[in-house]
Amino acid sequence: MSFIYNYSLKSLNTFGIDVMARQFATFQDIESLKNLLSQIKPEQNLLVIGGGSNMLFTKDFDGVVIKNEIKGIELINEDNSHYFVKAGAGEIWHDLVMFCVANNYQGIENLALIPGCVGASPMQNIGAYGVELKDVFHELDAIEITTGNLVHFNLQECKFGYRESVFKNELKNKFIIVSVTFKLNKLPVFNTSYGNISSVLNEKGIRDITMKEIADAVIEIRSSKLPDPKIIGNAGSFFKNPEIGIEQFEKLRKDYPTIVGYPTELGKIKVAAGWLIENAGWKGKVFRGAYGVHKNQALVLVNYGAATGSEIFELSQNIIDSVFLKFDIKLNREVNIY
């Protein structure tokens, strides 16, 4: 296992930001990962990368970037009501979803077409259309960076929250996830109440719903709304939806009757960040002809090809400031900044 020096990361991040890593290597199994880790000094910055679809590089990475390419998807167990499917961290997330759809392993279909790899999915407990990773998660295996030990984490130990996990908080930069095992339903428990999934199914005249039809509906909706990173650089939603108290929400609703918010289990209101950004006047804005805010979805910042990461970061700060000024709500970034 050897490193490449001064390696361009442009094709490895979906924003398409042209930065260099001081050192770069890939690993295809646990042994090659351990071998790489043994060559990295404790004082060196280390970054593990999957699909690069949730990161923004604002400068060259002065350290070691290692890309997870551990493959493999297999059914490892089943009980009366569940299938247990184990996937290597370097598998493409959408390929895993399609594998489950093809085999009728249910519960994961609403998460179709999320970019990136399996290994990053627990990092922010990926979610879409009313389903989160935690709903289909069984356990994961990870290598501890300092010791090289393989450690198992169960559902509780991952401390999943809204776009959160233990790996983004107290265990940040301590583990490299090498595989994830999913617990999928034998009997369908479909979730079609979210967004316009049910209206798309109705339009098609679909009565007897299958997981394939839900996955297809999600793919259709996502493709029509979101920019394809292969064409326009982006990292999906740049900000999390902020949660505020009911009183503050009701006060805002008096001034802005169209504001969008949903009650959370903890008695707060999750406000649609896209609505806040759009109503602060940012939707569709283009700067220097190079970057801006997407015209269909204000939550997505885009690189039309020639932006630097620091320009996009500065834009995100300007958005945070203006939303705060107008609505007294502080947006937090979802994308990881380097």
Instruction: Find tokens 């107008």 and name the residue.
Output: 326
Task: Answer yes or no: 334 catalytic.
Answer: yes
Longest Cα–Cα distance of the chain, Å, equals: 61
Q: Residue 254 belongs to what H/E stretch? A: helix 246-255
Two structure tokens written together for 9: 């990361």
Task: Answer yes or no: 157 catalytic.
Answer: no
Which of 58, 161, 191, 195 is the binder for ligand NAP (CB under 6 A)? 195
Task: Answer yes or no: 139 catalytic.
Answer: no
Which of 107, 127, 261, 274 is the binder for ligand FAD (CB under 6 A)? 127
Residue 269, SS3 per DSSP: strand
By CB under 6 A, tell whether 123 contacts ligand FAD. Answer: yes
Residue 269 binding result from ligand NAP, ligand FAD, none, given CB thresholds of 5 to 8 Å by partner type: none
| 3-state helix vs strand vs coil in the chain, percent to 5 | 30, 30, 40
Residue 195 binding result from ligand FAD, ligand NAP, none, given CB thresholds of 5 to 8 Å by partner type: ligand NAP
Which of 229, 242, 261, 274 is the binder for ligand FAD (CB under 6 A)? 229
Residue 262 binding result from ligand NAP, ligand FAD, none, given CB thresholds of 5 to 8 Å by partner type: ligand NAP
Cβ neighbours, 10 Å, residue 293: 24
Alpha helices in 110-245 (DSSP H): 155-158, 197-203, 211-225
Instruction: Find tokens 């169960």 and name the residue.
Output: 154
Minimum CB separation from ligand NAP for residue 198, in Å?
11
Strands 127-128, 131-132: pairing kind:
antiparallel
For the purposes of burial, counting CB atoms within 10 Å of the CB of 301, is it exposed (0-12), middle (13-18) or buried (19 or more)? buried
Residue 55 binding result from ligand NAP, ligand FAD, none, given CB thresholds of 5 to 8 Å by partner type: ligand FAD
By CB under 6 A, tell whether 108 contacts ligand FAD. Answer: no
Backbone angles phi, psi at 83, to 5 degrees: -105, 145
Which of 112, 128, 276, 293 is the binder for ligand FAD (CB under 6 A)? 128
Find the binding residues for ligand FAD in span 148-177 (CB under 6 A): 176-177
Two structure tokens written together for 210: 């299958």
Q: What is the DSSP string of 285-336?
A: -EETTTEEE-SS-TTEEEE-SS--HHHHHHHHHHHHHHHHHHHS----B-SE
By CB under 6 A, tell whether 14 contacts ligand NAP. Answer: no
Find the binding residues for ligand NAP in span 283-312 (CB under 6 A): 297, 299
Two structure tokens written together for 153: 């984490």
Which of 87, 96, 126, 320 is the binder for ligand FAD (CB under 6 A)? 126
By CB under 6 A, tell whether 234 contacts ligand FAD. Answer: yes
Please enumerate in sequence order all residues whose Cβ is within 8 A of that of 197, keeping only pairs 6 or more positions apart, or say none: 110, 129, 214, 217, 218, 221
Q: Which of 69, 237, 311, 333 is catalytic?
A: 237
Residue 292 binding result from ligand FAD, ligand NAP, none, given CB thresholds of 5 to 8 Å by partner type: none
Minimum CB separation from ligand FAD for residue 90, in Å?
8
Contact 44, 64 (CB under 8 A): yes
Q: Which of 91, 163, 311, 333 is catalytic?
A: 163
Residue 211 binding result from ligand FAD, ligand NAP, none, given CB thresholds of 5 to 8 Å by partner type: none
Residue 131 binding result from ligand FAD, ligand NAP, none, given CB thresholds of 5 to 8 Å by partner type: none
Give the full edge-to-edge strand order of the sheet including 61-68: 4-8, 20-27, 61-68, 45-49
Given the rule CB under 6 A, which of 70-78, 127-135, 301-309, 318-326 is the region that contacts ligand NAP? 127-135
Find the binding residues for ligand FAD in span 16-55 (CB under 6 A): 47-55
Active-site residues, by number, are 163, 237, 334
Chain contacts with ligand NAP (rule: CB under 6 A): 127-129, 194-195, 225-226, 236-237, 241, 260, 262, 270, 272, 274, 297, 299, 334
